[in-house]
Amino acid sequence: MKRLKIKEVLTNGKTETQTLVKGWVRTKRGSKNVNFIALNDGSTIHNLQVVADVAKFDEQLLHEINTGASLAVEGTLSKSQGSGQNVELLAEKIELLGKADPDKYPIQPKKHTLEFLRENAHLRFRTNTFGAVFRIRHAMAFAIHKYFNKKGFYYLHTPIITASDAEGAGQMFRVSTLDAVNPPLTEEGKPDFSKDFFGRPTNLTVSGQLEGELGALALGEIYTFGPTFRAENSNTTRHLAEFWMIEPEMAFYDLKDNMDLAEEFLKYLISYALEYCSDDLYFLADRLKQEEKGKPQDQRSMDLVEKLQFVLNSSFVRLTYTEAIDILKNSKPFKKNKFQFPVDWGIDLQSEHERYLVEKHFKCPVILTDYPRDIKAFYMKQNDDGKTVRAMDVLFPQIGEIIGGSQREESLEKLETRMKEMNVPAEEMWWYLDTRRFGSVVHSGFGLGFERFILFVTGMGNIRDVIAFPRTPKNAEF
């Protein structure tokens, strides 16, 4: 008999038909005569209720059906007597596929803290919360490809191992086959990278952008979607050492086109989530409400689904960095010395500043442009004022920076000068500069931090809870 997924059974299952399902036990409760087993197979947030007549089954078998055990159940689907579900499965055959010792299985049917589940990340997929998060994460990855495919963008696979530092921030993980403790040395006593695998120092990529630009300046519009790595020692709820980034890069796009694309793209993903992930979203919305029950009304967050609808229907406010600094300097927290970090023209905005602009001042997503050139990467197009570059950051409620991007410098001369000023090794990047030597054009792109976006959509509070196996300082167990 062919197994049906529980989602299929709950939505399209025909009563009075013979049905086979397989899954993991979430709970079992029962009386002397009948056991009710809630079975989940990951296809949906909802469990299928299996009804087992005690008289029909071996006592030992029923005894071993505990939370976490895996079962195959065959029976007749029937209209449910209970509330909250349309159908239930009247078991005729139960096969215990794998036991789970109730004294040892960590995921018991009670409320576990997210911290506890992080320590048990290998099993946390089996909870409702993480099931919902990872189904939504999957749907968003799919929607990203769907969106770009529809718009004629090509998915370009840029390298994971590179010799260049795209962001120039020096936050790279070295990739080397040299002996880490006793590497071969040069005459000056430094590690001899000519003896390394690639014959030069290499790193895990911090961004696929530079290679993405090469693609865009021939294919027109491309995007990358892959893992990126940053050895920044930031132990925050917004930073990972390994995160996934979506980086579209477009020939003939200026900064305005870039902003328009970013806004349209984000809204497409949000509307996709609302349309295709509603069961999981409603579950997470409810979870958030339960969690914030004790908080005073004005400190509770907006209902998750309402928040997504709100962002979908809002026009993102666009203003320059300079205008934002003025707003911050006239703000209450600034005047009352409530910001932890000082505000002055030239600073790199901290998440408290970004969140003030989005959550308190404008109360909607914001796109900031034209940042000081000294806090941004070498490749951004310089404005005529000699001080700012055509950068754009998209700031979201609850998150702060979710997208970073820019129009790129297309002039060879200006780019070379800037690279010299910023000590970016131009000789090693001859291949990048060739795009400006031969058929250079106006072009732009941006990077969306996938996990930051998933944080926003799921309403989760910690980036470690939206990636399956988080990599953070001192944490790479599994």
Tell me the residue ranges of DSSP E strands in 230-374: 242-251, 317-320, 366-372
> Is position 240 an interface residue for ligand 4AD (rule: CB under 6 A)?
yes
> Using the rule CB under 6 A, which residue among 43, 451, 465, 470 binds ligand 4AD?
451
> Is position 443 an interface residue for ligand 4AD (rule: CB under 6 A)?
no
> Is position 402 an interface residue for ligand 4AD (rule: CB under 6 A)?
yes
* Segment near ligand 4AD (CB under 6 A); pick from 94-102, 269-277, 359-367, 447-455: 447-455
Helix (H, G, I), strand (E, B) or coil at 89: strand
> Using the rule CB under 6 A, which residue among 262, 446, 459, 467 binds ligand 4AD?
446
CA distance 148 to 1: 40
Footprint on residues 163-182 left by ligand 4AD (CB under 6 A)? 166-167
Footprint on residues 197-226 left by ligand 4AD (CB under 6 A)? 207, 209
The least CB distance from residue 164 to ligand 4AD, in Å, is 12
- Based on CB atoms, which residue is closest to ligand 4AD, 167 or 370? 167
Mask: binding to ligand 4AD, 358-397, rule CB under 6 A, as x and -? ----------------------------------------
Q: Which does 410 bind (CB under 5 to 8 A by kind): ligand 4AD, Mg ion, none?
A: none
Q: Please report where in the chains the tokens 């009804």 appear, as a residue.
A: 51
- Based on CB atoms, which residue is closest to Mg ion, 193 or 223? 223
Closest CA to 4 of 18, 20, 26, 17: 20
> Using the rule CB under 6 A, which residue among 13, 365, 445, 459 binds ligand 4AD?
445
The least CB distance from residue 83 to ligand 4AD, in Å, is 42
Binding site for Mg ion (CB under 5 A): 404
CA distance 19 to 371: 61
DSSP 1-50: --B--HHHHHHHPPTTSEEEEEEEEEEEEE-SSEEEEEEE-SSSSSPEEE
Q: Which residues pair with 243 in a beta bridge?
A: 228
Q: What is the C-alpha radius of gyration for the chain, rounded to an integer number of angstroms?
A: 27
On the CB side of 393, how many CA atoms lie within 13 Å of its CA?
Answer: 26
The least CB distance from residue 472 to ligand 4AD, in Å, is 9
Helix (H, G, I), strand (E, B) or coil at 119: helix
- For residue 172, what are the contacts with CB-CB under 8 A and spacing of at least 6? 165, 203, 204, 206, 229, 230, 231
> Using the rule CB under 6 A, which residue among 254, 401, 416, 434 binds ligand 4AD?
401
**Number of shown-chain residues binding ligand 4AD (CB under 6 A):** 23
User: Judging by beta carbons within 10 Å of its beta carbon (0-12, 13-18, 19+), is residue 79 exposed, middle or buried?
Assistant: exposed
Footprint on residues 403-432 left by ligand 4AD (CB under 6 A)? 403-406
CA distance 451 to 312: 19
**In this structure, what token pair is assigned to residue 226?**
């892959």
Checking DSSP bridges between strand 221-229 and strand 154-155, what pairing results, if any?
parallel
The least CB distance from residue 32 to ligand 4AD, in Å, is 54
* Segment near ligand 4AD (CB under 6 A); pick from 20-28, 239-247, 313-321, 330-338: 239-247
Q: Between the CA of residue 135 and those of 126, 431, 467, what are the distances in Å? A: 12, 40, 12
- Based on CB atoms, which residue is closest to Mg ion, 48 or 403? 403
The least CB distance from residue 379 to ligand 4AD, in Å, is 8
* Segment near ligand 4AD (CB under 6 A); pick from 4-12, 342-350, 402-410, 415-423: 402-410
Q: By CB under 6 A, name the binding residues for ligand 4AD.
A: 166-167, 207, 209, 230, 232, 239-240, 243, 245, 247, 401-406, 445-447, 449, 451-452
